[in-house]
Amino acid sequence: MSPLNSTFFKNTTIVHPDFFFISGFAGIPHTKYYYVFLCFVYVVTVLGNTFVMFIIYTDHCLHNPKSIPVFNLAVSDLCGSTVLIPQMIDTFLFKSHLISFEACMANMYFAFLFICMQSFTLTVLSYDRCIAICLPLRYNGIVTIKSMLVIIAILWIFGGMVMVAVVFFISTLSFCKSVVVNSYFCDHGPIFRLACNDNFPSTVINWSHPIMILWFPLLFITGTYICIARALLKIAAASERLKAMKTCTSHLILVCVFYLPISISAALGPTIHHNVRIINMSMSTVLPPMLNPIIYSLKTEELRESIKKFYRRKKIETTVWNK
């Protein structure tokens, strides 16, 4: 790869490298076992989220407003893992560290878009639980299939526009320092810091982006659960409080699994060693999509009952077929 010449900037020419080099881990032995583990994670993620989408699609009892964000979360999880994990395996297990500039921009766009939608969808689920517990008599009038579809569509459009801005400002940068990206994918932070010209817009995006897709949604979720807690305290019967709380347990687990590790990485940013950052960020972006369908299947009564009906139906069909 030919070195980039900074003299081009005298004529305000934007210089893009033909390729970036995704460095991955540095100095850690036996990393291939980690990537083999990611293969397992990806297989479970694909099977689990596909199964959840299939159950919601085929069971008419699940064609309700609450199932729309659950279905959307499964789509976001599946697509997000598909963007990241196969690329990581190809890059590090098969030593294909080079990625073209255009492919890198596409990888950045879709990786952050699906992380963004995972965060937004968890926010929508908290909104659903808040209305169901705080305003139970008005729930069916407020939370409808149409309103849920509109909310989800607006969030996809907003997330897509934010990511377009992210990629646009990266494309206005010139790279003459290095083409080595100290991350496991085309990460925004490590890339914009390689620029030779003014990267102030990307610097602003780098700190405002986590606020928009992590901190504001997490603040909203916290607010909804404060409202839920106040509503639960007004319920006299302990059994009714417990029943209402159980409807929130799956969502609370998903919130902790998703936000805790990724928020720590976003808060610490470049201050931590890039190996630690890679492990933390990669685990926090690939494990929640694997765990989400498992948690929802085990903790959500409607989905659990639908899965039982599905297996009973398949068992009957198998028995009839064998006869």
CATH of 17-309, one of 3.40.630.10, 1.20.120.420, 3.90.1170.50, 1.20.1070.10: 1.20.1070.10
Which tops the pLDDT comparison, 300 or 254?
Answer: 254
pLDDT for res 266: 66
Q: What are phi and psi of 172, to 5 degrees?
A: -90, 0
Query: Can you say whether the dihedral through the CA atoms of 57, 155, 188, 4 is positive or negative?
Result: positive
Indicate whether 10 pLDDT > 50: no
| pTM, rounded to two decimals | 0.89
Residues 250/69, Cβ–Cβ less than 8 Å:
no
Indicate whether 319 pLDDT > 60: yes
Half-sphere exposure of 3 (CA within 13 A, CB side): 4
Which tops the pLDDT comparison, 111 or 36?
Answer: 111
Contacts 24+ apart (CB under 8 A), 9-12: 9/174, 9/176, 9/196, 9/197
Residue by residue, DSSP assigns 22-51 as E---SS-TTTHHHHHHHHHHHHHHHHHHHH
Count H helices, E strands: the chain? 11, 3
Pairing mode of beta strands 98-100, 180-181:
unpaired
Indicate whether 71 pLDDT > 60: yes
Domains of the chain, by residue range, sit at 17-309
Nearest-10 Cα torsion for 60, 61, 63, 69:
-130
Residues 26/184, Cβ–Cβ less than 8 Å:
no
Separation between Cα atoms, residue 116 and residue 160, nearest integer Å:
9
Report how far apart, in Å, the C-alpha atoms of 203 and of each of 16, 71, 188, 199, 246 are: 18, 34, 10, 6, 42
Residue by residue, DSSP assigns 83-108 as HHHHHHIIIIIS---EEEHHHHHHHH
Residue 20, SS3?
Answer: strand
Separation between Cα atoms, residue 170 and residue 195, nearest integer Å:
9
Which tops the pLDDT comparison, 286 or 322?
Answer: 286
pLDDT for res 185: 92
Query: Can you say whether the dihedral through the CA atoms of 213, 143, 125, 239 is positive or negative?
Result: positive
**Tens-digit pLDDT profile for residues 18-35:** 999 998 877 777 778 888
- Average pLDDT of the residues of the chain: 87
Residues 194/175, Cβ–Cβ less than 8 Å:
yes
Tokens matching residue 161: 């526009």
Indicate whether 3 pLDDT > 50: no
Q: What are phi and psi of 193, to 5 degrees?
A: -75, -10
Which tops the pLDDT comparison, 80 or 234?
Answer: 80
66, burial (CB in 10 Å: exposed 0-12, middle 13-18, buried 19+): buried
